[in-house]
Structure 1
Amino acid sequence: MKPTIIVYRELPEPEKVRLQSHFHIIEFKELSSTDDPQFIEALKTAEGLIGAGLPLKADVLDKAPKLKALSTISVGTDAFDLNYLGKRGIPLMHTPTVLTETTADTIFTLILASARRAVELDKFVRSGQWQSSIGPDLFGSNVHGKTLGILGLGRIGSAVARRAHHGFGMRIQYYNHSRKAEAETEFDARKMSLDELLRTSDFVCSVLPYVPETHHLIDEHAFAMMKESAFFINGGRGKTVDQAALVNALEQNVIKGAGLDVFEQEPLPADSPLMMLDNVVLLPHIGSATHETRDAMARCAVDNLISALNGDISINCANQSQLEVLV
């Protein structure tokens, strides 16, 4: 008998076919809550889960006594309790490599759109206000030749740095828990303290993961240290930023502007103060949202689940260090 798995996010048809050749599938195309009675019932027999977009914490997974592996169609792992999974010997597989370049493209889009006021000026044209050449009150800021400070120089941060340094002649500095010798060689990147980076960067770009240590790391104090001419870009995780402090910094012109793809609460509420500001570009968490990348993520996640349920977690296991019992 084939092992039973739950698919809780719609997959491309070829990936579903691949899964069906290995497993008995219980599919939830539009699962919006883990309280769904049919989902809870399915958990009783599930040996694997694959999907994205729902928090699967301990209280949910306690209802899945046969669970042997999880595969998330994402790089982020904050929807899961890694310590809990480790204690149960359940590997969490993720897709860290296939979305790197696409997410870096999105982040650089935010850098350019924020600096050149692209969204604001698009509205200006569409509303019929463009009657003559614009004046200094609508001028933007240069990107080329400026200093980019990157918070979190991992795969995505390095891909952003590559675009910035080689494409726009930007000076690269970074804040990271470890030194990145390769980046220092390729981009002439400088490792520095958070405070120094905030004080000296023209663009501060966060690609930080969300862990307890990074909760509201960028707060009122951080924005106060930044240049008045600086832009803040967040393509990492929303909860690493005190959003109320960011709103205040934008309203009071503590910083020049911001570009955001992630938020403390998602979707962003319609009454969010950010909606009223012209000096911020808002995207609906689209970091990896291209047809090509999402298909590649689905393929990777399917590969990951098949491998994990066959006992191989050597590639793309997010919690290998926390596992107490390996599958």
Structure 2
Amino acid sequence: MKLATTLLGTAIALTMTAGAALAEWPEKPIQILIPWPAPNDPSTLVATAVAPVMSESLGVPVKVVNKPGGGAVLGAAELAQARPDGYTLGLVSVGPMITQVARGKTPYTLDDFQALGLVWASPFSMAARADAPYSNLQELAEYAADNEVRLAHWGIGAVPTLIAMNYADKAGFEWQETAYDQLNPLLVDQGDADVITYSTTGLTDYIEAGQMKLLAAMVPDRLPAFPDVPNVAEQGYGPAFSVWFGAFVPDGTDPEIVTKLSEALYAAMEDPEVQKVIENVGVVPETDGPEAAEARMQEELQTFSALMTKLGIME
């Protein structure tokens, strides 16, 4: 009887302690971890605009911290290992969160995270030099039948790379491909590569200067800034997946804190000044909340695993 009473008392004490901790949250700065380098990174730019708005609503400082490396895997791993106390959240994309996990290239799994929701998608494109002898995917396929074509990309597990590799498989050729930690349109502009998969926003200046051109949009719909450029699917070379970005906390974070953080983040994104930054950066807002994001991630884990198996890049 004493043991039962003791156990009951312990359970009540733990519940009261957890409740008190939640009531006090937040009481110290919150960190938004970004697993990419800061210069010109869309996530960093938007998060930097979001942080002060979240800070005002939550009543504590909100800081943006960049932890790049390993194609964003290092930063995602740090997020997975952080204390699940609601003081560390991260913005991570579909590549390190889904495709690299499927390939077994990460020290974490989806079970190590809790989604706050998806926040935006990055409009990626496939681009070449303006004087390249091809202007769309069909013309590129015809050229590649007799010529070597060098592809610059972020890495094999990156979604834009998978889209490009799936296209080449359907078109009947193989890229001469190289992954770059510091991918830059200059690789194509200066002749080190023939084609690049890159954020359309980062390509815009080169296109407007007449140095590069878009071959295909890597988005489900047309690009608002380049409505005349058809996407991969429209050109008949497989689906164009969304390169989404989501907000996550370590698994084990109190569900009420998850809800409060998610609500604060989405509310901040509706701020007029943040909306201006989102428009200028060129990302497309996503609205999948925690449950919808979790379901979508599980579905895409299966989809991309099947695609990578088909392409022969699963180990």
TM-score using structure 1 length: 0.35
Q: Greater helix share, 1 or 2? A: 2
TM-score using structure 2 length: 0.36
Greater RCO between the two (CA within 8 Å, min separation 6)?
2
Q: Greater strand share, 1 or 2? A: 2
